[in-house]
Structure 1
Amino acid sequence: MMEQRVIIEMGMGNDLHGMDYQKAARRAIEDAIRHSTLPIFQSIDMPHTQMRVQVTVGVQEPDHIDIEALRSGLPRGRVAVTVVKGGLNIPNPETGDTAVVATAAVEAFLPSQIGKWVQS
């Protein structure tokens, strides 16, 4: 079945003192989804299970991420999470702390709506 991307949101999250990649990644996803809503589901009476959600998270240490925990935190749709090398580690030479910055892109895809809409 052909799909169409209906939304893409970007987010950023960090952990300033714990060097917790999971926390930074979760915050990046939350930042992205806080910026959007999809009223289309109520408008056209479409179940949210028809939406596929693709999340891509970038952190400097991808192997420190629990993908299933991130996936289970998404509120709607059929979710897949991919983790790639990205984000930033920002060391503080004075304290030895490293701030971790994660980035996330959250994309939502719906079955093709071509021909289902009529302009009035």
Structure 2
Amino acid sequence: MSEQRMIVEMGMGNDQYGQNYTKAAARAIEDAIRHSALPIFEATGLTHEQMRVEVTIGVQEPDAVDCEALVPNLPRGRVAVKAVKGGLNVPNPETGGLIVIASAAVEAFLPKQNGWVVQNKSV
């Protein structure tokens, strides 16, 4: 059975002093899902295990993100995390350090359901 992307959440996080890309990414994920509720499971009878979650983290140094360490930050679904070039590094001229800013896109996919009509309307 094919899947439909049903949820997209975006978030931003930073690490102001530690230059830790994984910490900034974790904060971006938290920001993305902080206000989310998923009543679709109770309404449809689907289980959380049927949801596939793809997380894309944008940072200036993608190789510095521990993607596996971020998986537990998503409490539901089968989760995959990848890091790509994005985000922002803001240099601190007084200390030589960086403020690391990460962006996150959290996408949730569910199996297509008979009778569901998902309309793709342009705004």
User: Is the TM value for this pair above 0.5?
Assistant: yes
1:35 offset after TM fit, Å?
A: 2.5
Aligned length: 117
1:38 aligned partner, one-letter code:
L
Q: Answer yes or no: is 1:30 the counterpart of 2:30.
A: yes
5+ residue gaps, structure 2:
118-123
Structure 2 contact 29–73 (Cα < 8 Å) conserved: no
Shift of 1:109: 0.6
Q: Does 48-57 or 37-46 show the bigger shift?
A: 37-46
Unaligned runs of 5+ in 1: none
Write the deviation string for residues 39-85 of structure 1: whole angstroms up to 9, x where unpaired.
Answer: 11112221110000000001111111111111122100011111101
In the alignment, what sits opposite 1:94? 94
SS at match of 1:95: coil
TM-score (structure 1 length as normaliser): 0.92
Equivalent residue, structure 2, for 1:103: 103
**Partner-residue secondary structure (3-state), 1:106:** strand
Identity of aligned residues (%): 68
SS at match of 1:18: coil
**Are 1:112 and 2:108 counterparts?**
no
Structure 1: how far apart are the matches of 2:101 and 2:89? 6
The ranges of structure 1 where at least 4 consecutive aligned residues each deviate by more than 3 angstroms after the TM superposition are none
The alignment partner of 1:31 has SS state of helix
